[in-house]
Amino acid sequence: MRTQHHLSIATPIPGNVPPGVVVAAIQTYTPLIRHHSAMTGFDEVSATPDVLDNDPFFGPWDDSVRAFQLRELITLAPGLTKEITYQTIFQLVPDGTRSRAMAPAGIVVRAEFTVRQRRATTVPISPAGSDSTASGSTVTAMGDEYELREEVLVEANSLLMPFITEALATVHRGICERVVVETAKNYFGTGDMQ
């Protein structure tokens, strides 16, 4: 029997990094792949409209759809690993990107990465014009903080789910954190421009 597990990750974006810079980084797709800790390599492959498989998670086919063949090293047991290969599809959405990975054993991971204003228990008053993540402003005003938000939905056989969920949370939290750090370093000219 198949089951689903939902995971939400929110990674704060430093206030001196414009949110539009993070949007631009994740919309290139490759930082999201490179920062997957178990990834051993990837290649872009041709994408045609059929890669979306009429999946309602994606919008209509457009030129932002890209496909990648990923190679990941998974741990089967302590000291026992195996490299698996699978395809991941990406598509742009406003303020972010969506992806779907179709891994072996029928594991399907859908993720949406977006940059959005952080939610607080009390809503701060933001300066006029600062509510757009694509504004291009150079500094985020106090009380106008943003985050990289990832919503993940994994589908798999219910017997596999206990083994998947912990690793999924660790890997995806790391992806978000490393993407924000790399983007900040590149923005300030202290990182490797990739």
- Give the tens place of pLDDT for each residue, 12-46: 999 999 999 999 999 999 999 999 999 999 999 99
Q: Which domains does the chain have, with CATH numbers?
A: 2-126+133-187 (3.30.530.20)
| Rounded CA separation 160/169 (Å) | 15
Q: Which of 121-125, 173-177, 189-193 has the lowest mean pLDDT?
A: 121-125
* 75 pLDDT more than 90: no
State how far the Cα of 177 lies from the Cα of 171, in Å rounded to an integer: 10
pTM for the complete prediction? 0.84
At what angle are helices 161-187 and 19-26 packed, to 10 degrees?
120
In Å, how far are 68, 78, 81, 93 from 161, measured between CA atoms? 24, 18, 18, 28
> What's the pLDDT score for residue 191?
63
In the block, which residue shows the tokens 């798999």?
156
